[in-house]
Amino acid sequence: MNNNPHIAIVGATGAVGLEMIRTLEQRQFPLGKLTLLASARSAGKSLTFRNESIEIQELKEDSFKGIDAALFSAGGGISKTFAPLAAKSGCIVIDNSSAFRLDEKVPLVIPEINAGDTFNHQGIIANPNCTTIVTLMALFPLHQEFQVTRIFASSYQAVSGSGAKGLEELKKQVSQIVEGHPLTKEVYPHQIAFNVLPHVDEVLDSGYTKEEMKMENEGRKIMHLPDFRASVTCVRVPVYRAHSISVSAEFEKPIQVEQAKKVLDAAPGIDVVDDTQNNVYPMPLNVAEKDNCQVGRIRKDIAMDNGLCFWVAGDQLLKGAALNAVQIAEVLAKGA
């Protein structure tokens, strides 16, 4: 990739696409030109980047000529159709969908963990699942020191993980309940306002959901740890933005709380926020719109040997999606 690359964003009008635009600007990414691509209904509209108005173009098969890298966030179907076409035209795709994450030929990258895998691409690089990213930001530094074997985890996932429609449904339902109006349900099978749903994504024959299995499958690939095991329950909660995960992790080596905090303090992209005596711990409100994840409630797991419990939170639209994708692009640009 050249020093001032031509970058495209596919799905520019979506929640993650908009964050990608903001992140490129805030991090002063050294691009020469930005192209915004979306569906035909958005074509002709404009978005602002670096005080300039950029007209959105319709995504087509020939949209990638002359583009160095494209950040995709338009769903798996679009990625499966257009990412190979982009790669064929010489454009490097950084894909935010689940379409290519477990493809052996496609690197699955969190730059703080496995940046070196980025350069093994054949035209497509995958962004991991948002919950996986936030969890591994805390788990991987501990793994490096103590060698993780398995985790038990429960996620508390914000409605913005369902896109703009999830946000609107929560806002609408809160208003309807407060005003005594009939409730409308379109995005979720049950009321999400003042409720929690232990159901994120499609349920598999095993009883786990696709979202729950991503932690184990993607974690193995990212950490280069084929025997890693993860038993996860994913829960949708009435929070606008930022995911939280409660983790109980088991390690090969004995682990002490102070050792763990020291390791996490030195890790990139995550802040230790842990003073329970003064009610200080990570919360979605405090990590929303922040680049770094936060980890706290760090304590010995009393139910298993060499165990540690912690609570980690992160903005799934940023580190869980847009920021991670831009960081991958930064790795490519630096390695050019």
What ranges do the domains of the chain cover?
6-128+321-334, 132-316
Distances (CA, A) of 220 to 37, 38, 129, 132, 267: 33, 33, 13, 11, 20
Which residues are identified as catalytic?
Answer: 130, 243
Q: Give the pLDDT confidence score for residue 4 in this predicted structure.
A: 87
Residue 243, classed as helix, strand or coil, is strand
Interatomic CA distance for residues 141 and 85, integer angstroms: 37
Closest listed residue to residue 282, CA positions, set 128, 129, 135, 112: 135
Interatomic CA distance for residues 25 and 139, integer angstroms: 30
Domain 132-316 in the same topology as domain 6-128+321-334: no
DSSP string, 72-91: E-S-HHHHHHHHHHHHHTTP
- How confident is the model over 222-274, as pLDDT tens digits? 999 999 999 999 999 999 999 999 999 999 999 999 999 999 999 999 999 99
Interatomic CA distance for residues 61 and 225, integer angstroms: 37
> pTM, whole model, 2 decimals?
0.96
The β-bridge partners of 208 are: none
Q: Give the pLDDT confidence score for residue 163 in this predicted structure.
A: 83
- Which regions in the chain score pLDDT beneath 70? 336
CATH class name, domain 6-128+321-334: alpha beta
Q: Give the pLDDT confidence score for residue 335 in this predicted structure.
A: 84
Residues in the chain: 336
Residue 129 phi, psi dihedral angles, 5° rounding: -60, 145
Q: Give the pLDDT confidence score for residue 336 in this predicted structure.
A: 55
- How confident is the model over 35-57, as pLDDT tens digits? 999 999 999 999 999 999 999 99
Interatomic CA distance for residues 249 and 303, integer angstroms: 11
Interatomic CA distance for residues 327 and 25, integer angstroms: 13
Q: Which amino acid is at 320?
A: G
Under CATH, which architecture does the 132-316 domain have? 2-Layer Sandwich (3.30)
